[in-house]
Amino acid sequence: MELVATSLFDLVSEVIRDTKGIGGWKEIAADSSVGLFLPEIVLCGTILTMLVVRLFRIGEKLDMFYVGFVGLVASLLILSPWRLTENPELFARRELFTGMLVYDGFSVFMRGLLFGFGILFLIFAKISGIPSKYDSADIYTLVLGATLGLCLMSAANHLLVVFMGIEMASVPSYALAGMQKRNRQASEAALKFAVYGAGAAGIMLYGISLLAGLFHTVHLPTLAWQISNHLPQMETSELMVAALAGLMIMAGLAYKLSAFPFHYWIPDVFEGAPAEIGAFLSIASKAAALALLVRVVVGVGTLPADVAKSMADTKAVAEASEVMEGTVWISHEEPAHVHGHGESHERSGSPSDKPADEAKVISPGLKAARTYMAKLIALIAILTCTFGNLAAYGQNNIKRMLAYSTIAHAGFMMMAVPGLLAVAERAPDVAASAVSGIAIYLVIYLFMNLGAFAIVAFLRNAMGSEQIDDYAGLLKSCPGITICFVIILFSLIGLPPLAGFIAKFAVLAAVADAFRISGDGYLMWVLVVGVLNTAISLIYYLRVARVMTMLPEPESRTPVSLPLFSAAGCYVLLMTIPVALFIVRWGSLHQTASAAVDYLLGP
């Protein structure tokens, strides 16, 4: 966005005010951009500490695990996502750093999820011992660096941040995938990951450049505003370019989501890289990619209430100034943003004065953009989910099977997005419930998948194999772990008393609601495919459970010792208990997720 200032001094002081809030030079206002960005700044500080402390003698003795752990806990405490249910008004939508990032309940929720995952991941890596003492600093630095990029992705409000977040998360991931030295498979996986990833990012960037050229902006709410004004009058050739740009951007997002035509790297990377890295890519990276998808479709497909309101207010002004060429865009943009900032501050101060007349301006341009995105994403979600489940059948390597299961789950979570788009204007509360469905799914998915990958990693340490057939008869030698694994597998299927059922139910219920209200036929297809896929996935998860519990133990195997009462066993238990008992306390997660999406669409 452009800052409109009469002089350089005004420009600088405006940027400073936006960054650190009003006040003296030394104080930083709590609701200023820097104040709200503090968790990420602490994370940056942690990364720098990790790098610098190694230069000194003390750093050679210090285990970087503790530095990373303290840094992540501090970030989580500063963010304090548990305040979401206590005081939702604190998390009203607000733009940071002149519109680059957005701060709202959803970004707080997602960042809380990412930091929480980071803490659990560090403990997991510590217990499984994958980073050798010499490597550990590098690996923790890369993981924290990728987490920083994922945080930017989940708060993106500008296409530059979208691209930067993806790159900042991907580049450390490439290195993580190839961190095992002199390992043929790991180096092959990393090369494929890096080449495909960089290619997809390049194509996405070209799409962004086309969109930027068509609509003269890269700021998402302004983009939505431009689309609503200009899309109906566009020529066919321009519409073609817009559709192509949308496809190209979708290609980059689909790559991060491991969605259907761009999924091929996931099985290779998961098989080549250690299970710990698989856990990171399948949970944190997927969570942020989904958050980014929601950000992009909400940003492009809907007008934030403050922008919509000021648009109605300034319509007359804008029409009048249309005559003066050259100044048109500045006068269009300026009221929207100045108004946006002013109102968000005002709203955070006195939350009771929510304007009652927030009647949304129905715009055919935005509706067309939304329908295009909804149909595209519905198609991709259906293909992704089905393909992931079908390809998981013939796998013998457990990590490869979990990779296809990750693809299928990503497709399932994406199914909520067409539902969100279909009713974004007509029933914002139903649309918000679709996003809260994704949020609930992601939290449950975190426990399920981290548990599954932890068991795979611990079994690899105990018996040196990752083939499903080698798991035969594990029930006898390590019953505790086997029972935990079976519970997690049943939850991944989505069987009723377990957490996975709640996750799938939340998403499907939101899509069904959206279908009831909008009556769009493609949502029906999404629903049918979602239910069918749950049935398809039954077989390959059950196969693993059958091999572990029913088949006899091979004679040749050395005894596997993995007791439940060890660090590893306790960690697995810690992941399994929430999965098994979630149904008891699921109301509080639902409340938190609903509070998180309160301000995503509308006031």
Partner 1 sequence: MTGLLAVITVSHYLAVGAFFFVTGVLCMATKRNALGVLMGIELVLNGANLNFIAFGSKYLRSESLGLDGQLMALFVIILAAAEAAVALAIALSFYNAHSTIDVDQGDELKG
Q: Choose between 104 and 268: whose C-beta lies nearer to partner 1.
A: 268
The 8-class DSSP code of residue 102 comes to E
Strand partners, 95: 102
Amino acid type, 307: V
Report in angstroms how near the CB of residue 73 gets to partner 1 at its nearest: 28
Q: CA 547 to CA 544: how far, in whole Å?
A: 5
Is the separation of the CB atoms in 300 and 294 below 8 Å? Answer: no
Q: Choose between 142 and 488: whose C-beta lies nearer to partner 1.
A: 142
Report in angstroms how near the CB of residue 79 gets to partner 1 at its nearest: 26
Q: Choose between 175 and 379: whose C-beta lies nearer to partner 1.
A: 175
Report in angstroms how near the CB of residue 3 gets to partner 1 at its nearest: 9
Q: Choose between 119 and 175: whose C-beta lies nearer to partner 1.
A: 175
* Burial status of residue 216 (CB atoms within 10 A of its CB: 0-12, 13-18, 19 or more): middle
Q: CA 284 to CA 510: how far, in whole Å?
A: 23
Report in angstroms how near the CB of residue 331 gets to partner 1 at its nearest: 12
Strand partners, 94: 103
- The secondary element (H helix, E strand) that includes residue 95 is strand 94-96
Q: Choose between 2 and 135: whose C-beta lies nearer to partner 1.
A: 2
What are the residues binding partner 1 (CB under 8 A)? 1-2, 159-160, 163-164, 167, 170-171, 174-175, 178, 181-192, 194-195, 198-199, 201-203, 205-206, 208-210, 212-213, 216-219, 267-268, 271-272, 325-326, 328-329, 394-395, 397, 400
Q: Choose between 78 and 160: whose C-beta lies nearer to partner 1.
A: 160
Report in angstroms how near the CB of residue 551 gets to partner 1 at its nearest: 22
Is the separation of the CB atoms in 419 and 562 below 8 Å? Answer: no
Q: Which of these, 409, 407, 401, lies nearest to 466 by C-alpha position?
A: 401
Report in angstroms how near the CB of residue 268 gets to partner 1 at its nearest: 4
Report in angstroms how near the CB of residue 292 gets to partner 1 at its nearest: 16
Q: Choose between 187 and 566: whose C-beta lies nearer to partner 1.
A: 187
Residue 539: Cβ within 10 Å count: 12
Q: Choose between 183 and 461: whose C-beta lies nearer to partner 1.
A: 183
Report in angstroms how near the CB of residue 52 gets to partner 1 at its nearest: 19
Q: CA 581 to CA 598: how far, in whole Å?
A: 27
Report in angstroms how near the CB of residue 223 gets to partner 1 at its nearest: 11
Is the separation of the CB atoms in 442 and 113 below 8 Å? Answer: yes
Is the separation of the CB atoms in 398 and 466 below 8 Å? Answer: yes
Concatenated DSSP letters for 216-229? S--BHHHHHHHHHH
Q: Choose between 252 and 419: whose C-beta lies nearer to partner 1.
A: 252
- Token code pair at residue 456: 């795979």
- Token code pair at residue 345: 């501050």
Strand partners, 158: 219
